[in-house]
Structure 1
Amino acid sequence: MTPELLAPLDLAFWNIESAGHPLHMGGLFVFDADTPDAARRAADLLATRAARIPGLNTRIRPVLLPVGAAARHVAPDYDPSDHVHLAAPVRDFHVAAGALMQQPLERGRPPWAAHVLPGANGTSFAVLLMFHHAHADGMRAASYALSLLDPAAADWAPAPGGGAPRPEKTGPALRLPDPRKLPGLLRGAVTDAGQALSIGSAMARAAWNVHSSPALVSRGTGARRADGAVVDLRDVDRIRRATGGTVNDILLAVVAGGLRRWLDKRGDGSDGVRPRALVPVSLRDPNSHNGRNGQSSTNGQNSTNDPSASGNRLSGYLTRLPVDEPEPLARLRAVRQAMARNKQAGPATGPGAAALLADVIPPLGHRFGGGLIARSGRLFYDLLISSVPLRGVRGLTLANSPVREAYPLAPLAPGQSLAVGITTYEDRVFYGLLADAVAVPDLDVLARSLTEEAAELVAACGS
């Protein structure tokens, strides 16, 4: 396979993490075990399936040219069983997942791992899947997870010999452009520069106007705590029918209300708190190959035209969560109005489009500026709210054991204490929470606050 250069955003994700602060994403899947040895059989099956899934056999290595760049190569000694780990029995899957998420993925080999966690009761087990953000964005991570957990998806996958991502046809690293194309290249450069200035200006305004809470700020200890909350999808649909808007608006409003309850319970207070939430937007749109019609990754729809395509294709919306609003339906209206403004402006403008700035930074800038970029995130957003689109997917099994719960775990940026992941599987919505373990020792309180907020919204709609 010809090595494939990392796209600028992939290179940024590869360089901004450190050994003490990993930035991979995860997914915690809980299964009902059909037999006491189901976890062991699941580990064997994961290794077998992983051997046949395209892309999982590639690692990331630096290249000589362009200076500072890196590329994906097929790992010559790839052995899927090295990436699948069977743990000792655990009593709490979330506690175990938090401890594992603080461990960095090994950078010298394909950056993914699967941890199989047998339940202490023998009637259940969990699988924690971890993927480096340079290796997969949310859409592609979902594609990998479905291939590992869905027998129908794995059975047709080609063997790893031809399974690496298709290399971009960029030609030699150093090649002079066709003179006839120079006018178009210049126009593109001017357009990119104008867009970068617009995004940079919006980021500066967002950084200047802050109404957050100290509870959402962390020194970045690297320690991790995980937890989760579950909301009945029928309740979400009941709220939507009563209030209008989108499912996405309701899911974000539940986070806003849950944060309010959590801050008040811990004594920090919610008065005047309107934290800036970064909502990633997938630019994988089947109707637009240029990404202009990107969709929020919390809309519960698979908008990718090629989920297995390599490279991150992300932008984002930045929205203020009305945590200081005391009335639940008023919070929902505020969220709906803010997201409507974001969608009207589109995902290519505004401070949430900061990911697009990666394209105008040269590889050497990513190499040496990674630490600075990582620390700058807290300047313009306070927490990440991301989602993996699984709505419509049903019947996932592993070793004859069905998936009972699915919690996405979003990467936690340096300086921030909390990241929220959302997915919908079968008839329930799952909130996955990943937090700095030192800054948020009461993550279980936030998890309960989310379910309480959803119940209050249902009650408000009923009245």
Structure 2
Amino acid sequence: MQKLSGLDTGFYYLDSPGMHLHIGVVLIFDGTSIPIEERLAATKAQILDRIHAMDHFSQKIAEIPFGLGEPYWTNDANFNIDNHVKAGVLDSIDRDRLVELAGEFISIPLDKARPLWEIMVLPHLDKSRFALVAKLHHTMIDGIMGIEVLANLFDFEANPREFWGPKAVAVEAEEVGMANLVGIFANSLIDKFQSVPEDARKTISALSQWLSFTSDSDNSRLLKPLFAAPKTPINGALTSERVAHSITFPLTRLKLLAKAAHVTVNDLLMSIVSFALDDYLKGKDWQGGVDLVSMMPMANHRRDDQGGSNQISALFVSLGNSITDPKDRVVEIARATSAAKRFHRKADLAELVRLTHYVPPLFTWALSRVAHQLKAFDYIGPAFNILISSVKGPDQPLFFAGTKLEEVIPFGPLADSTGLSVTAVSYSGQMVLGLVGDSKLAGDVVKFGDAISDAVELLESIFSAA
């Protein structure tokens, strides 16, 4: 049995009827049309052949009684692949309908009595293709771990001679009784008390570093504390329904634009979203003129990490919306992301995030449910305005059960108070932006996609003329 980290415990208990903390992804393959029974069988066989190499895919979560301590991963004695890989729409559909179905799929919470993942098989996509739509709970996966899952589940050629990853070993089901969990909780409590002095020292050190870093006027303008964001039409209490959309750009196009603007592709992505938000929110009667705030996930993975838990932290950066000159705004956003990276290197955020294990899960669960029931974020300001994340995927083509993966469309979760997210993944020469909107706050997410396309053209016109 493996205890969840404090961060993963937070993801597990913050999950509520309005805030589904799972990650979605659409995988489109170049495959001939075959009966659904054969496609399902091939998908299940590939997963079962590799499942031993993917953390927690055959494990469920055992909770400590009354939510008094971090829960544990335990082998699922009743694991059945049929509960996790299911047929979707059997009719032939196009890409737009596929993304629409993905939005409906990620609107449904995962069953916490089972391993926290599910795949929908759509056998008849246009152009003789098929698709898998997956959702995995954030307790299982972050961006870096997602790439590791792809590496273990996929191959680098259509007909590999053998799976190059870890070999399968016999795994016995674990019986988790009340007495075991109480004993585990008691030992965990002792460990926490023993680590209080050292953790207190680290907390004071991290806060001191933050105060020192933000005492600089530039840094305090570029990096924002939690709940410093203005309230906009896309911020409020979440519903349970999600709407999805995606946009694809040739990666070379974005790289050329980033080079012309003298910024990184990630900085460019932040700038594109900033300008797109101006246009999109104007259509919702937002006056603008103030800086919006994006949550920027930061990977904490180290060479000695053993995997199996999230290794991320987050900083909150200004999107420079008060700056009207496009070139100046792009520079300002690049400075903001640079400041975030400098602080991330300077402060041991991984250690600070680890302190979340002191937060009682019962408190996290109750806070999330009360906020949802009272629709608290309809009345108070948002933690941040939008979530923007990006992950670099493999450059070479991948294959699944002999079929080539053509496209990856990522969909990130929404945090309560924030009704819009942008998740970007590069793969095989393309950059795909997956957009998720809350049905009430950003149900017209397609318009936001149009605004992103317009923002790219705007920046191209500006920097090509420079």
TM-score, length-normalised on structure 1?
Answer: 0.81
Determine if the alignment matches structure 1 residue 23 to structure 2 residue 32. Answer: no
Code of the aligned partner of 1:67:
L
Q: How does 1:191-230 map to 2 (within 5 A)?
A: 191-192=202-203, 195=206, 206=225, 209-214=228-233, 216-230=234-248
Question: CA offsets per residue over residues 26-54 of structure 1, 9 Å max, x none?
Answer: 11122233x11176544323312222323
How many Å separate the matches in 2 of 1:443 and 1:97? 14
Q: CA deviation at 1:218?
A: 3.4
Q: Secondary structure at the match of 1:131?
A: strand
How many Å separate the matches in 1 of 2:401 and 2:35? 6
The residue number in structure 1 matching 2:107 is 102
Q: CA deviation at 1:112?
A: 0.3
Question: CA offsets per residue over residues 407-433 of structure 1, 9 Å max, x none?
Answer: 111111122210111111111111001
2:444 maps to which of 442, 450, 460: 442
Question: CA offsets per residue over residues 333-354 of structure 1, 9 Å max, x none?
Answer: 1110111121222267699998
Q: Kindly tell me: are residues 361 and 21 of structure 1, through their superposed partners in 2, closer, same or farther at Cα, counting changes over 3 Å?
A: closer
Conserved in 2, the CA contact under 8 Å of 1:105 and 1:111?
yes
Of all paired residues, the percent bearing the same amino acid is 21
The residue number in structure 1 matching 2:98 is 93
Code of the aligned partner of 1:337:
R
The residue number in structure 2 matching 1:299 is none
Conserved in 1, the CA contact under 8 Å of 2:254 and 2:265?
yes
1:283 maps to which of 292, 300, 309: 300
Q: Kindly tell me: are residues 44 and 394 of structure 1, through their superposed partners in 2, closer, same or farther at Cα, counting changes over 3 Å?
A: farther
Conserved in 1, the CA contact under 8 Å of 2:203 and 2:352?
no
Q: Kindly tell me: are residues 396 and 457 of structure 1, through their superposed partners in 2, closer, same or farther at Cα, counting changes over 3 Å?
A: same
How many Å separate the matches in 2 of 1:163 and 1:427? 42
Q: CA deviation at 1:108?
A: 0.3
Q: Kindly tell me: are residues 408 and 199 of structure 1, through their superposed partners in 2, closer, same or farther at Cα, counting changes over 3 Å?
A: farther
How many Å separate the matches in 1 of 2:291 and 2:151? 36
RMSD: 3.6
Equivalent pairs counted in the alignment come to: 430
How many Å separate the matches in 2 of 1:336 and 1:62? 43
Q: Secondary structure at the match of 1:279?
A: strand
Q: How does 1:7-406 map to 2 (within 5 A)?
A: 7-33=5-31, 35-37=32-34, 41-51=38-48, 52-54=50-52, 55=55, 56-64=57-65, 67-88=68-89, 89=91, 90-91=93-94, 92-119=97-124, 121=126, 123-150=128-155, 156-159=165-168, 161-162=170-171, 173-175=185-187, 186-192=197-203, 195=206, 206=225, 209-214=228-233, 216-264=234-282, 266-269=283-286, 271-286=288-303, 306=306, 309-346=307-344, 355=353, 358-371=356-369, 379-390=382-393, 392-406=394-408
Conserved in 1, the CA contact under 8 Å of 2:231 and 2:381?
no
The residue number in structure 1 matching 2:418 is 416
Structure 2 unaligned runs (5+)?
174-182, 215-219
TM-score, length-normalised on structure 2?
Answer: 0.81
Code of the aligned partner of 1:189:
A
How many Å separate the matches in 1 of 2:67 and 2:439? 39
Q: CA deviation at 1:122?
A: 6.0
Conserved in 1, the CA contact under 8 Å of 2:300 and 2:350?
no
Q: Kindly tell me: are residues 352 and 59 of structure 1, through their superposed partners in 2, closer, same or farther at Cα, counting changes over 3 Å?
A: closer
